[in-house]
């Protein structure tokens, strides 16, 4: 697949930070599989990439290409059958508070705890804080950051989907993980809330410059949220290319450069599929 190699090589020159700094996360030739009674499913095949401090690193690919599986691997819930994942140089073996995950589902909060309670529970149980007072202070700082300061004593069932996702983001960020893992966190939101949440996430990032790996299958979302985008092929997921996107925001949507990048990414995702279709025998 020389086209794939060319695209990856082209992108390799666009990460100036890469040469100077050590990666926070190094995913090195990772194959992840699921074993069921009847099947062995290869979800990702020899995937490699590096994430650097303050990257907004987006993993983009079609449904079933192994994006969530990769995040599960990074989180330490799944072990590679080939290759290695290293966080700050240490091989990932188990889950740990140095990696926090935000999921797509709205029901990821503890329903019997308030907004404040959800965050302090994570801080105390994740070993980040020793006392309730310390946990509340940190929790409040992040509740404010996600603009929920009037809702700290509210229970999850009284919050909208977007508000629940803000709590999940605040809870993950309060742990100050080395890398924040976000698996399509805005996918279940309506278009307006989704856009607002993307903007808020970028503002938060401006504020604290955390390192985030953000999974999506929306090209537009990838270009808005990402500083770098890893493009994956359909099942089993392999790396097709990596591109820079740090210059684009909501203000650019529809603009010439934005559309050109979207088009380029679209072509990279669908290039092989189009070729396959063209070579299929024609039935009449």
Ligand X SMILES: Nc1ncnc2c1ncn2[C@@H]1O[C@H](COP(=O)(O)OP(=O)(O)OP(=O)(O)O)[C@@H](O)[C@H]1O
Residues that bind Mg ion (CB under 5 A): 68
Please choose, out of 67-75, 170-178, 240-248, 250-258, the segment that lies near ligand X by the rule CB under 6 A.
67-75
**Cβ distance 175 to 126 under 8 Å?**
yes
CA 185 to chain centre: 8
**Interface mask (CB under 6 A) for ligand X, residues 21-40, using x and -?**
-------------x-x----
Task: Among 171, 194, 217, 248, indicate the residue that binds ligand X (CB under 6 A).
Answer: 217
User: CB of residue 36 vs ligand X: minimum separation in angstroms?
Assistant: 6
User: CB of residue 152 vs ligand X: minimum separation in angstroms?
Assistant: 32
User: CB of residue 215 vs Mg ion: minimum separation in angstroms?
Assistant: 6
The residue (of 117 and 226) whose beta carbon lies closer to ligand X is 226
> And the tokens for 96?
């740990």
User: CB of residue 265 vs ligand X: minimum separation in angstroms?
Assistant: 16
> And the tokens for 167?
């709590």
Count of other CB atoms within 10 angstroms of residue 131? 9
Is the N-terminal amide bond of 244 cis, ω within 30° of 0? no
From ligand X, Mg ion, none, interface partner of 43 (C-beta below 5 to 8 A by class): ligand X
> Among 60, 65, 61, 25, which Cα is nearest to 45's?
65
> Among 240, 244, 248, which Cα is nearest to 271's?
240
- Phi first, then psi, for residue 7 (nearest 5°) are -65, -40
Counting contacts by CB under 6 A, is residue 101 touching ligand X?
A: no
239-244 and 228-232: which strand pairing?
A: antiparallel
The residue (of 18 and 41) whose beta carbon lies closer to ligand X is 41
The residue (of 68 and 114) whose beta carbon lies closer to Mg ion is 68
Distance between CA atoms of residues 172 and 211, nearest Å: 12
From ligand X, Mg ion, none, interface partner of 63 (C-beta below 5 to 8 A by class): ligand X
User: CB of residue 193 vs ligand X: minimum separation in angstroms?
Assistant: 20
E strand intervals along the chain: 25-35, 40-51, 56-60, 82-87, 90-91, 99-102, 179-183, 212-216, 228-232, 239-244
Please choose, out of 9-17, 62-70, 81-89, 167-175, the segment that lies near ligand X by the rule CB under 6 A.
62-70
Distance between CA atoms of residues 284 and 280, nearest Å: 12
> And the tokens for 278?
């063209």
Please choose, out of 61-69, 95-103, 131-139, 243-251, the segment that lies near ligand X by the rule CB under 6 A.
61-69
Q: How many residues bind ligand X (CB under 6 A)?
A: 14
The residue (of 8 and 68) whose beta carbon lies closer to Mg ion is 68
Counting contacts by CB under 6 A, is residue 233 touching ligand X?
A: no
Q: DSSP label at 281?
A: P
Counting contacts by CB under 6 A, is residue 78 touching ligand X?
A: no
By CB under 6 A, name the binding residues for ligand X.
Answer: 34, 36, 41, 43, 61, 63-69, 217, 235
């Amino acid at each position: 697949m020389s086209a794939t190699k060319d695209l990856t090589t082209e992108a390799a020159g666009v990460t100036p930070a890469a040469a100077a700094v050590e990666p926070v996360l190094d995913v090195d030739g990772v194959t992840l599989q699921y074993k069921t009674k009847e099947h062995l499913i290869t979800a990702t095949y020899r995937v490699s990439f590096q994430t650097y401090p303050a990257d907004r690193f987006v993993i983009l690919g079609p449904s079933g290409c192994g994006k969530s599986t990769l995040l599960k691997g990074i989180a330490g819930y799944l072990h590679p059958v080939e290759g290695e994942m290293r966080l700050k140089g240490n091989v990932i073996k188990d889950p740990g508070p140095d990696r926090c995950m935000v999921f797509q589902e709205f029901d990821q909060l503890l329903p019997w705890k308030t907004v404040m309670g959800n965050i302090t529970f994570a801080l105390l149980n994740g070993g980040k804080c020793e006392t309730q007072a310390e946990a509340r202070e940190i929790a409040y700082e992040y509740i404010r950051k996600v603009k929920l300061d009037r809702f700290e004593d509210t229970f999850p069932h009284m919050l909208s989907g977007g508000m629940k996702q803000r709590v999940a983001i605040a809870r993950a960020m309060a742990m100050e993980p080395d890398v924040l893992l976000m698996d399509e966190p805005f996918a279940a939101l309506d278009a307006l809330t989704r856009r607002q949440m993307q903007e808020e996430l970028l503002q938060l990032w401006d504020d604290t410059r955390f390192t985030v790996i953000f999974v999506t299958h929306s090209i537009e979302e990838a270009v808005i949220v990402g500083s770098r985008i890893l493009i994956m092929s359909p099942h089993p997921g392999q790396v097709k290319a990596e591109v820079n996107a740090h210059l684009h925001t909501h203000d650019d949507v529809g603009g010439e450069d934005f559309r050109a990048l979207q088009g380029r990414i679209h072509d990279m995702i669908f290039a092989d599929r189009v070729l396959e279709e063209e070579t299929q025998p024609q039935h009449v």
